[in-house]
Amino acid sequence: MSSNDAADLDPRDEIVTHLPAMRAFALSLTRNPSQADDLVQDAVIKAWKNLGSFQVGTNMRAWLFTILRNTFYSDRRKAKREVQDSDGSFAATLSRKPDHDGRLALADFEVAFAKLNDEQREALVLVGASGFSYEEAAVTCGVAVGTIKSRVNRARQRLTELMELSDSEALELTDQETMAVVTAGLPVRGSAA
Amino acid sequence: MQPHDDKNLDEQIEENLRKVYQKTLEEDIPDRFLDLLDQLKQQDAQK
């Protein structure tokens, strides 16, 4: 997996390579682009100050995600307030690049995704989108592997329920049509890690 | 209610998730972060 090159790289120079992933993870936590970047900035500063505790050669992305995540939760405990309209802001970032195949389903997905609780959302993002193994996600979140697995499963179930619900409520497309639109444009994933 | 193919739905969820994630991944890193890293490096150098 990690080569000697990665181990030889100064951790200070490696951080920049993880910034895109940190921003994506932060966005999934905050669901608000400007808050996400503030969170990334705080996390980068913390990481820099604590670079001494990073073991060179280990998974820096998981280490950075842990810092980012801890920062997010401790900020929120301090602030003690939920951000309203974060769903709207997040949805706005998504409509920037509309893709004709599955666009409706994606918007639908966004609404459902925003309704997951934090634990489910981050578990799903870590495992489903950022390519973490269950083990890496467990370390990042500081919980057992089984806990991550069950959070991912519950998140999927919940999304499924929410998306079915919205189909029957407000969407113009029927579920079958939505599925057809979405699956038509998708490559088959054979080797997702 | 239409019967659902759970496997398809799971795949749909993951694809959507990746799309959402991918959009941020593909964005250029904002200057504020590159500036920040430069500043941090300079601080270290001055120690």
pLDDT score, position A192: 41
Give residue A86's identity as a one-letter amino acid code.
S
**Is there a contact between A96 and B25 if contact means CB atoms under 8 Å apart?**
no
Domains and CATH numbers, chain A: 1-82 (1.10.1740.10), 98-186 (1.10.10.10)
A67/A44 Cα distance (integer angstroms)? 8
Dihedral, CA of residue A184, residue A185, residue A188 and residue A193, to nearest 10: -140
pTM: 0.69
Whether residue A16 and residue B16 make contact (CB cut-off 8 A), yes or no, is: no
Q: Check whether A79 has a pLDDT greater than 80.
A: no
Q: How confident is the model at residue A47 (pLDDT cuts 50, 70, 90)?
A: very high
Identify whether the C-beta of residue B13 lies closer than 8 Å to the C-beta of residue A12: no
Contact residues on chain B for A41, CB-CB shorter than 8 A:
32-33, 36
Contacts of A40 in chain B (CB under 8 A): 33
Is residue A114 within 8 A of residue A84, CB to CB? The reply is: no
How does the average pLDDT of chain A come out, rounded?
A: 77
pLDDT tens, residue order, chain B (47 aa) = 444 556 677 777 778 888 878 888 888 999 999 999 999 999 988 87
Q: Bigger pLDDT: A113 or B9?
A: A113
Per-residue pLDDT, A89? 53
Determine how many CB atoms are found less than 10 A away from the CB of residue A42: 17
Tell me which chain B residues have a C-beta less than 8 angstroms from the C-beta of A179: 5, 8-9, 12
Confidence of residue A80 (pLDDT cuts 50, 70, 90): low
A101 vs B46, residue with greater confidence: B46
Q: Tell me whether A186 touches chain B (CB under 8 Å).
A: yes
